[in-house]
Amino acid sequence: MSRKYFGTDGIRGEIGKTPMTPDFALKLGWAAGKVLTKQGHPLVIIGKDTRISGYMLETALQAGLVAAGVDVHLLGPMPTPAVSYLTCTFRASAGIVISASHNPYQDNGVKFFSSKGSKLADEVEEEIEQYLEHDLKTVSSEKLGKVTRILDAGGRYIEFCKRAIPNNISLDSLRIVVDCANGATYQVSPNVFIELGADVITIAAEPNGININHNCGATSLDTLIKRVKQYRADIGIALDGDGDRLMMVDHTGTVVDGDETIAIIAQHKHQEGSLGNDVVGTLMSNLGLQQAIEKMGINFHRANVGDRYVMKLLRQYEGVLGGEGSGHIIIRDRIPTGDGTIAALQILHAMISSGQSLYELKQVMKKYPQTLINVRTQTKINLEENKVIQTAVSGAEEQLGNRGRVLLRASGTEPLIRVMVEGDNPEETAQLAEDIALVVEKEAEGHRRSTD
């Protein structure tokens, strides 16, 4: 079945436009409830980030769920990974997060977790979509669901995060700047580091409903860099609006991205003997990460872009570590979804255990220069069957040899072909990317004309 509303990370869109409207959210809650009530009398956990529209969607979703006979626990503002964790601890049938992650406040979204705290299976999302086509019918009064607000949700999550590092590890030697993106982590994540002993300077922790991700957080690091230098901090930690993404800054003010974070955690867990034999990245993961992992004697696998695909390969290979350069890091032996706070704790643990700075730890990976060019297209092109494009790609790959790689892929959300080239020479890499992009652009134009 082709899904109409669910994407790779739930349902997302601009508020006031379908599907991000109160009437759709009401129907979505009811449809999800109809699927869940097939297995008895379910309980659903709902958390949200700090967007002003979250109140509207939360009210509509809970009304739909209650109308279908589902009990609801409301968490209030809570990071996405916290909802995953609390779904498990409350033995809930499902968890719902109202968030558009790193998007601006005008957008919002709804994503679901299974009873095991992982992303909902495709077939369950498809079944929910089928019920969206039915008329909403409320159960009889005695079967209506009940709504409860959970007041200690934040404290539960804080304690869970603290258990991610050994009890004998204290952060009292570290000064940390934490950027909460004016999002869902503002009440919990700084307290995790404070309670573990760190000297914490918190920024972007004053949400007002419309400042989430605005010039702050994991997608906007300028302020964090300034504060790390200003306070002479050991490390800067940037989370995104819903807390599942992590970017960092070392004491020199240099950004440490998701690929470098994975490499550091992999080295630390490998030395501990807790890594296993496999690490998962994506098609976009830097070649330097692959080489660093393989140098440890560990297998490196590339998944399609998206944390659900990373998780799928982790399950397949029984791996415990995977993620994306954008900062989605999954540490599967801790939690079955991306968690920026948990990932940051692994880095801090590595720093304390090794006595090394973040700057020193990131030397485990040599990052290859990477050029990415987006070619806008008006019609779909079969990249694998286009001989002209494949000839251009083959020529670039032959020139690079084992010094780099070439990747072309169609965007899943926009009419774009992404041309990515990475190698050890930035000038060569940029030129090859431009050459291939020009070929793709010409072929796209020729294909458009042939179909007009």
Phi, psi for 221 (deg, rounded to 5):
-100, 0
**In the chain, what is the straight-line distance between the N-terminal and C-terminal CA atoms, in Å?**
29
Specify whether 220 is catalytic: no
Axis crossing angle, helix 287-295 with helix 258-272, rounded to the nearest 10: 10
Of 101, 115, 189, 285, catalytic: 101
Number of continuous H segments (helices) and E segments (strands) in the chain: 14, 18
Pairing of strands 199-203, 94-98: unpaired
Burial class (CB in 10 A: 0-12, 13-18, 19+), 401: exposed
Tell me the C-alpha distance between 212 and 105, whole Å: 6
Query: Cα 277 to the chain's mean position, in Å?
Result: 23
> Which residue bears the tokens 């909403």?
136
Q: What is the largest CA-CA distance in the chain?
A: 71
Phi, psi for 14 (deg, rounded to 5):
-80, 135
Tell me the C-alpha distance between 315 and 295, whole Å: 23
> Which residue bears the tokens 């440490």?
256
Tell me the C-alpha distance between 401 and 451, whole Å: 36
Tokens of 72: 């609801």
Axis crossing angle, helix 258-272 with helix 340-354, rounded to the nearest 10: 60
Tell me the C-alpha distance between 126 and 132, whole Å: 10
Cis peptide before 19 (omega within 30 of 0): yes
Tokens of 221: 């690091």
Query: Nearest to residue 196, comparing CAs of 171, 233, 161, 173?
Result: 171
Pairing of strands 71-77, 147-149: parallel
> Could you give the dihedral angle defined by the CA atoms of residues 299, 303, 309 and 310, in that order, rounded to the nearest 10 degrees?
40
Query: Nearest to residue 337, comparing CAs of 8, 78, 81?
Result: 81
State the DSSP code for 297.
Answer: T
335 bridge partner residues? none
Tell me the C-alpha distance between 438 and 436, whole Å: 5
Catalytic residue numbers read 101
